[in-house]
Structure formats: structure tokens, C-alpha cells
Structure 1
Amino acid sequence: MDRLTLERRQVWLYLSTIIAGLLVGSAWPGVGRLFEALLWPTLIVLLYATFIQVPLLHLRDAFTDHRFLAATLTGNFLILPVLVWILVQALPPDPALRLGVLLVLFVPCTDWFITFSQLGGGNAARAIAVTPLNLLSQLLFLPVFLWLTLGTELSAVLGFSEVWPALLVVLVPLLAAAGSERWIEARGRGAVLRERLAWWPVPLLALVVFLIAGAQVGAVRGALGQLAVVVPLYALFLLLAALTAKGLATFMRLPADQGRTLAFSLGTRNSFVVLPFALALPAGWEIAAVVIVVQSLVELFGMVFYLWWVPRKLFR
């Protein structure tokens, strides 16, 4: 099996590991503490293996195509945040539920959107070039978006004592990946290491969702009714994201391959980068992490539809 085949079928792997985690967590309730302890180092390794695929030292490449860059930044950091805020108003007034949805829908994906762009006839070079800018922009804008939408309600539950461990989980792999990229380019022989690490994100993310499902089985049971509400919202978001890409591509006069890339950029979200922040929330807010995992599953099923719809109907 090659890596593209693995990534194309990853949704079934994640679904299987979630079911396995729920079964293990139900059979052995005491395993939750062990799973929570294993979750943080697994997330660090996952983020490192993901970030090292991002050309962090080539930020200037994103500015070579100003029209595509403008469309990407406008869609991801102006139009979609407004749409997300509107969609969230339809959710039950549960702050933990709304925070989880906002966390995951506010941030564009920086990894598998490149794969889906390639599979969907997009411009892989443009996708790779814009990825580091998307990553840095979301780290900058996410606190602003959350403050604007939640305000004092957020600061009451997510203070500095809860934020700094989650920040370390994100920043340490990010800095390590940047250092590794510099070493790879200086030595000229590290491409093999990067290629091997490219296989890691899918199995590591499967392990992460297994650990979350096993540790949060009680939260999942208590939130089944709420999950039935967020799934249609996530599906609607995917539809609106693609239509937004179509409108922006038409307005910016982008070629079809760049329009497809834009659709995959707007449709995919960075679920496991925001997971540390959801997991750092205090007791009683576990639903935030659960709805983030659910979003990744809905998104992957949505990408199966995107791979047919985007190149054949939306951007012929």
C-alpha cells in the first residue's frame, strides 16, 4: 500500500479506532487515566510529524501568486469565521459545545488538504506554498476570533494556567520541525527522513482518537444528543466552504486547478492542532474535545464527496 492509498482510506481507520477506544473505555473504566497520560506525548509526536511536512522556512513562496494568496486568506480568515459564528448560533447554548465547534472550524488545515488537493486535481505547488502562512496566521488569529465570539466566557475557563501546557504541545513540535527542516536542507540527505515521517500522521492520529475515545467514553455517552446536532452543522459548513471557494475563485479569476485547491483549503480544518487546547479545559468541558474529533470524521467523509464534486462539477 502506498501513502496516498492509506490517506484515502484513513477515515475507516479512524472510525475503527474510535469504536475500539469506546469499547475498551467501557470495559475497563479505570484505563482513562492511563490514556490521558499517553495522549499528550502522542500529540507531540503527531504534531512534529505533521509540521515537518510543512515548508516552514519557505514562507516567501506563498507570496509569489498574489491572487491565490488573497483568495485563501480572505476565505479562511475573513469570510469563514463570520459564517462559522452565524452557524454556531443554531447550536444549543452549551459553552463547551460551542467552544469545541469554534476551535475546530476557525482554523484551516495544514496537512491533508495538500493530499486531497492533489487527489482532486488541484494545484499541489500552490497548496504547499500557502500552508506555512495558513499555519502561522491561524496561531495569530485564533485567540482573536475566540475572544470576539466568546469574550469573558472564554477567559473564565481558559486562563494562562490551562493554556501554557497546550501552547507547549503545539510550539515545541513546531520549533523542532523548523530546526529539522533547516538541518535537512543543510545536509541535503534528510529528505528520506521526511518521507518516512510522512507515513506517521495517519497511524498517530488513529492512536490519538483511540486514546480520546477510551478516556472520554462517559462524555461521549452524555453528549450523543448534542452530537446529532453538530454533525449536520459540519456538513453544512463543508457545503458553504466549497461555495465560498467558487465565489472567490470567480471573483479573483483563478484558474480551475487553483479554485479546486482553494475549495480543499476552505473545506478542511486543523482538528488536531486545536485538540491540545480543548483537552486543557477543566472538568465538565470534555465535550469540546469530542466534537473536534467528530468534526474530523465528518470532514473526511465530506472529502470523499469533494473528490467527486469539486473537480467534476464545481471547477471543471
Structure 2
Amino acid sequence: MSGDPPRPEGTMRDMIERHQVWAYLIAVIVGIIVGWKTSPGTMAPEYLVWALLGSLLYATFTQTPLTRLSEVFRDRRFMATLLTGNFLVMPAIIGLMLLTLPDNDALRMGVLLVLLMPCTDWFVTFTHLGKGDSTRAIAATPVLLIAQVALLPLYLWLFIGEQSAVDLNLWRHLLPAFMGLIMVPLVLSLLTQKWAECSAGASRFINVMGLMPVPLLTAVLFLISMTQVSQISATGRIVWILMILFPAYLLAAARVGQGLSRLFRLPLETGRTVIFSLGTRNSFVVLPLALSLPEVWNAAVIVIVLQSLVELFGMMFYLKWVPSKLLPIRSTI
């Protein structure tokens, strides 16, 4: 799309994004070690975590072309496939996956929060690296973001039930976090993008902000791992369950994307874009929501952090599997 900042191979941003998996893994491991050796509650004040999360979401949203919503609707087949997969087929599969989990509300909440929200950031990066259509991926991100924000309350009500949510005061905790840590950065990023349409300085600022999501998320993962290490050790059995569930989700997402791409007769590159969209989730956008919940829901935070790590390594597999096996050049759609 015209007007987008150039993203040539070898730039600082590409280098950061290529090494992000290892940065996140190291941050989690070091955070766990520091948390075990020290008293993390006194080392990481709560306001620091929230400030980093707010900055992270703002930096991420500035890279989402919110002012270009109309462009993505020009390809109706692509949008129909993307919305059908992300908001109809995959939620149904997630609902079936919940049936395999133990009776643990916090575990289910974490799984729902993270798997119901399509990714709007590194989805573009992995689409580009996996020989998908990054232009359509960029154009689709604001639609995905707005749709998931609108549909998340409905999904939680359907899967958890109104009575459970009321009993645990769920909405009283989710609503302030949603408004303060998602809607405020979203509105600010939209205003920034509007400003950039008539200011070269604002455009340069947005380009600089494009370098920030990976370092900020690395810092967030370090702090979360450090402060939640007791929860990690206390939920050891949950970890092993999720190590089966999340890879299973990635495999299902890839096959669903492949099937929908053929059903809607999408071009190869566009079909790969759909697969990467279904496979990637908005883990750190929902992390603030999980952190805002009362202590009874603490395991949801561990679920979201673990999912992000499983997904990142899963994307390494996707980069080879999707263009070479699922939708190779020789196949016909």
C-alpha cells in the first residue's frame, strides 16, 4: 500500500523481529530465575507493569493502519475467509477444546482470552516471512482488532456463562482494564495516525514506534515471569495440559486455514495469509485483562504467557510447513 514505511530486509526492525523468539524466551527464563532467588513483589511495582503494557499497546496500535479500514473490504473473498475462520470456525473448535480441560475456571478463562483474539502485530511479520500477502495482512489488522474487541464479551458470556461471571465480579475487573489499557491506546494511536497524514515528524515518530513492541514485550514478559513465578510452580500440572492444547490449536488452525482457502478459492499468497492469521493470537493485548482480574484468576496470566511462547515456536514450524507443504506453489486452489 502506498504511504507505508519501507520494510526492507536487513533493517533494524527486521533484525529485531527475526530474533524476537529468543528475546522472549530469555526474558521468561531470566525472570523465573530472578523471581525464585528474590522477593519479586518488592522489586517490580505494579504501576511499572501497567505503564509498560500501556506503552506496548500504543506502540503496537500505531503500526495498525486504522485510518485505512476501507481498503481491506475491496477483497471480499479474503475478508469473508478471514472473518469466517477467526470468528466462527476457530471459536467453535476452541469450544470443543474446552471440553478436554479440567474443571478450572482460571485455566478456561486464560485459554478463552488468548485463543479467541486474532493477532494484529507479528501476524504481519510471519505472513511476510512465510510467503503470504503482507499487504492484505496489514490492511486486515484494523478489522481484526475492532471485531475481536466487539465480540470478546459475547464469547466470554457464551463459554463461561453469565452466572459465573457475575459470581466472581468478572466484568467489574475486565471493563476498567479494557477501557484504560486497550481503548485509550487505541484512540491515541488513531489520533497519531491522523496527525501523521499531515506531518512528516509524526510519520517518523510512527516509524520509530515500530521498533518498540518487541523490546517492550520482552520487558513485560520478564516482569510477569518474575512476579508470577510462584503461580508457575503452583500450576505445574496445568502447564503440561497446555503443552498439548496449544500445539493442537496451531495444527487445527493451519488445516482450517488451508480448507477455507480452497473453499473460497483464494490465491496462494492470500491463503497463506489466512493460515497465519488463524494461527497467531493477540496474547499481549489480552494480558492486561488477565492481570486486572482478582487473585482467583491468577492462573490465566500463566496460560497467556505460555501460549505466546508456544505460538512463537509454532510459527517457526509454520514458516517451513505452510509455503512448502500446506499451500505450495504447485497446488491449485
**TM-score tier after normalising by the smaller chain length:** over 0.9
SS of residue matched to 2:281? coil
Aligned to 1:240: 252
* 1:30 CA drift (Å): 4.6
The answer on whether the counterparts of 1:35 and 1:214 sit within 8 Å (CA) in structure 2 is no
Asked if the contact 2:170–2:293 (Cα under 8 Å) also holds between the matched residues in 1, the reply is: no
TM-fit CA distance, 1:189 = 4.0
Task: Report if the CA contact (8 A) 1:278-1:289 is conserved.
Answer: yes
Count the aligned residue pairs.
Answer: 316
Corresponding residue of 1:45: 55
- Counterpart of 1:63 in structure 2 is 73
Q: Single out whichever of 212-221 and 5-14 deviates more from structure 2.
A: 5-14
2:183 corresponds to 1:171? yes
| Stretches of structure 2 lacking an aligned partner (at least 5 in a row) | 1-9, 329-333
Counterpart amino acid of residue 120 in structure 2: T
Q: Which amino acid aligns with 1:311?
A: P
Aligned to 1:54: 64
The match for 2:172 is 161
Letter in 1 for 2:166: S
SS in 2 for 1:70: helix
What corresponds to 2:236 in structure 1?
224
* Cα distance in 1 for residues equivalent to 2:16 and 2:228: 27
Distance of 1:177 and 1:130 partners within structure 2: 17
C-alpha distance in 2 between matches for 1:124 and 1:22: 35
Q: Equivalent residue for 2:331? A: none
Distance 1:154 1:298, change over 3 A: same
For the 8 Å contact 2:58–2:188, the answer to whether it is kept is yes
**TM-score normalized by structure 2?**
0.92
SS in 2 for 1:64: coil
Pair 1:263-2:275 in alignment: yes
Structure 1 residue 315 and structure 2 residue 331: aligned? no
Deviation at 1:157, TM superposition (A): 2.2
**Aligned CA distance change for structure 1 residues 221 and 204 (closer, same or farther; 3 Å):** same
CA RMSD in angstroms comes to: 1.3
Distance, in Å, in 2 between the alignment partners of 1:86 and 1:32 is 41
> Which residue of the other structure, out of 85, 98, 113, is the alignment partner of 2:95?
85
1:184 and 1:28 map into 2 onto residues whose CA distance is 45
What is the identity, as a one-letter code, of the residue corresponding to 1:255?
P
1:94-133 equivalences under 5 Å are 94-133=104-143
Q: 1:294 aligns with which of 269, 286, 306?
A: 306
Distance 1:32 1:88, change over 3 A: farther
Q: CA deviation at 1:256?
A: 0.3
Residue pair 1:35, 1:211 contacting (<8 A) in 2 also: no
Give the match's secondary structure for 1:117: helix
SS in 2 for 1:57: helix
- Unaligned ranges ≥5, structure 1: none
Q: List structure 1 runs of 4+ shifted beyond 3 angstroms.
A: 30-33, 158-161
Per the alignment, do residues 101 and 289 of structure 1 end up closer, same or farther by CA in structure 2, a change over 3 Å counting? Answer: same
Q: How big is each residue's C-alpha offset from its partner over 1:172-208, in whole Å with a ceiling of 9 and x where there is no partner? A: 1101100000000122443221111111000100111
**In structure 2, C-alpha distance between the alignment counterparts of 1:276 and 1:157, rounded to whole Å:** 18
Of stretches 135-144 and 190-199 in structure 1, the one that deviates more from structure 2 is 190-199
